[in-house]
Structure 1
């Protein structure tokens, strides 16, 4: 379409979560509380891991990176949503919308890869315990974290460049609380076939490949755990893995439901509900799932909190 590289829209209107005034006050308090829990919980994880030498292992190194990404991920969306409510202004500029979308895609991709890296780490620890220290070297751990950052940035850049070429010459109202890819594609008056094809091919490859690695890792872990003679040991391992699998299912299930279906097959309400799960709920669960069930992490967090109260 000619002129598709120019957008006549200078800003968008984010409708948010609800248009009902009585619901907006409740949702503001709820999301502010959830965001504070997300930031505080994940920052405590990072602080505990960095200050406790016993936690300087590959597993906790990956966990601290996941916590950082989760805080950044939520901070890309929730503060803007809360600010819009306070200022009674629901607009966002076109460059600001693309910027928010860039960081959203980037952090979702990194989160996705880190979940796969953590499952691989647990696979080596459970299935090859005698070779764990020789396989999970410091160099490999750094590479397993740096690689996702490079891939995620390139992936986000590709989608933003494709989005920037579209025209938005009609309705500029986004029925969402952030600049979502699928919502913007519905507003475009250009041909979005290429964008949708990239989402369903390259985007699917970015998401599905780590998911397959996670599934293979946990299948191998399950087989190894079933060979453990102790019933208590089996239950402990399955309990820990079950929590991780639940978060992985929540994260992948909502993203696949939103982004890997044709844009006409789901409503704005469905998109918003799914987005809330992977942008707000899942990052908030990170401290509880990966830390509070872990004795070493509990001890480190207790020390950090005790030191804080001591200095106060």
Structure 2
């Protein structure tokens, strides 16, 4: 992971002045989808880059040690060895960036990754995921338990109520406490952007989260009605850029929820490259939260190598 974001004092003057021009943002986001696309070898290279930025995720009520084991195996062997060999990428150590699970499944994940001889981090959601409607002490305990079990990254959810009612000091203080509870684990702050009411609120919440010491800001839990959208991504990336210009601290970005196709992944990679440049296009500063995305990427790479599409059942499941 990249250097930690130490955060800064809450600057309410900065927050109060912000006003996002929603029609302009939406117009710009629409243009991104119609822009140039990458083809052939370039596309395959970009898709392999996307794989290395995936937080391979399972957040289901029916998660068991056996399907966690399968998820971890897929994280360590995300693309079939045969395909990588043809592309001369079989010895480049391609894995996903992390696996992401509930706190109760962290120990299972650590055990499975250790058995596979792989050192990719385990990320755990916490703080009353996905709604965040649990008491503060319970949220802090949940973070500590996940860290004690070996999680090296914690995906926390903010209290959306604090954003919707304009309680920026309260939001800052809550996230500072979460950051403290994370200890050495990197903290990704999920804003739940589909429930924040406006793009102006998305920018303000992003900025407060970074001021409070978030190492990443993340769009969604994947459980809201509206998850990662390009307008929201654009606003969050501009906030990351503004924060970097002001403090010199680089904060990562993670879109999550609804990112299912290779084409979706390429669009997000292009947005990152345009807004923040190549230095952000690595797992230390960019993650894709996804559960079914990897299957489509592997299918596209299969097509690149063989000239035909594989049926989904021909490729190992995530």
* TM-score between both structures, scaled by the size of structure 1: 0.26
When Rg is computed on C-alpha atoms for both structures, the one with the higher figure is 1
Higher helix share: 1
* TM-score between both structures, scaled by the size of structure 2: 0.26
Tell me which of the two structures has the higher relative contact order, counting C-alpha pairs closer than 8 angstroms and 6 or more residues apart.
1
